[in-house]
């Protein structure tokens, strides 16, 4: 458990990359039970399904319907693969999951707020891909810029909230990618996502996507970043396949 600095009294569980398939019915039963016992809020950082198929979403929704705590989620690239984003989101929302795409969620006591976007790729620091040259490159870069703008707007909606949390799928820093092939880093995230985090004072960031990455890092402004990809957590803490933080 990672101890926070505030006294909100909320225990936050975070995980990503569940990659739920239709045949996974029952796979997350004990996991959900453990979250119900140990946490007050669940954050899901994308790749909730394996191919973005409605059947997968229905299976996951059945598992998450047993949650007794609020659940806030963003999609990952796998959730977009099948072209059924709206159907997948609806099935999850039907069981109470707050699926964010540039939106926000605030706890009833307004002590904890969550801003969420999928994020996108594009690289980091001086090696960030720029919108120059071919129109395809400009379109790719614009996708990353748009996600950063969505995150900025979502964080602005949390003004006055004591603990501003951010969930993304793609990584906002390179540190949490260490362990992946270096050649893959530009496709696993972009530092464009870190700019609104530092500018608007987020407390911490959770992301997935980097199955072979490193568990924690920081933005240039010092904001803690946690890689909560379930394959990584399963290796580090097999008895608890989620990160638990006491705010």
| Ordered domains of the chain (ranges, CATH) | 2-246 (3.60.21.10)
According to the model, what pLDDT value does residue 185 have? 98
Residue 103's DSSP bridge partners are 116
Q: What is the pTM of this model?
A: 0.95
| Helix-, strand-, coil-residue percentages of the chain, each rounded to 5 | 35, 25, 40
CA 70 to chain centroid: 15
What's the start-to-end Cα distance of the chain, in Å? 10
Q: Would you state the structure tokens that stand for residue 165, as one six-digit string?
A: 């949390």
SS3 131: coil
79, burial (CB in 10 Å: exposed 0-12, middle 13-18, buried 19+): buried
Tell me the pLDDT of the chain (247 aa) as tens digits.
343 334 458 999 999 999 999 998 999 999 999 999 999 999 999 999 999 999 999 999 999 999 999 999 999 999 999 999 999 999 999 999 999 999 999 999 999 999 999 999 999 999 999 999 999 999 999 999 999 999 999 999 999 999 999 999 999 999 999 999 999 999 999 999 999 999 999 999 999 999 999 999 999 999 999 999 999 999 999 999 999 999 9
- Whether the Cβ atoms of residue 67 and residue 38 lie closer than 8 Å to each other: no
Distance CA 143, CA 178 (A): 24
């Amino acid at each position: 458990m990672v101890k926070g600095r505030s006294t909100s009294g909320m225990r936050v569980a975070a995980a990503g990359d569940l990659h739920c398939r239709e045949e996974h019915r029952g796979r997350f039963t004990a996991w959900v039970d453990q979250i119900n016992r140990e946490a007050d809020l669940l954050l899901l950082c994308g790749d909730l399904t394996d191919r973005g198929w409605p059947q997968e979403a229905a299976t996951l929704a059945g598992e998450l319907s047993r949650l007794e705590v609020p659940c806030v989620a963003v999609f990952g690239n796998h959730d977009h693969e099948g072209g059924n984003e709206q159907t997948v989101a609806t099935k999850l929302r039907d069981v109470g999951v707050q699926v964010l795409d540039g939106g926000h969620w605030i706890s009833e006591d307004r002590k904890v707020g969550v801003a969420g976007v999928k994020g996108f790729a594009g690289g980091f620091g001086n090696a960030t891909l720029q919108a120059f040259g071919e129109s395809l490159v400009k379109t790719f870069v614009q996708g990353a810029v748009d996600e950063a703008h969505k995150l900025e707007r979502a964080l602005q909606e949390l003004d006055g909230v004591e603990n501003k949390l951010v969930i993304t799928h793609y990584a906002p820093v390179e540190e949490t990618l260490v362990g992946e092939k270096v050649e893959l880093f530009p496709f696993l995230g972009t530092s464009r996502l870190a700019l609104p985090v530092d500018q608007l004072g987020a407390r911490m960031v959770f992301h997935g996507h980097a199955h072979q990455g490193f568990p924690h890092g920081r933005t240039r402004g010092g904001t803690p970043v946690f890689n909560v990809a379930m394959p990584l957590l399963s290796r580090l803490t097999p008895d608890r396949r989620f990160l638990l933080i006491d705010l």
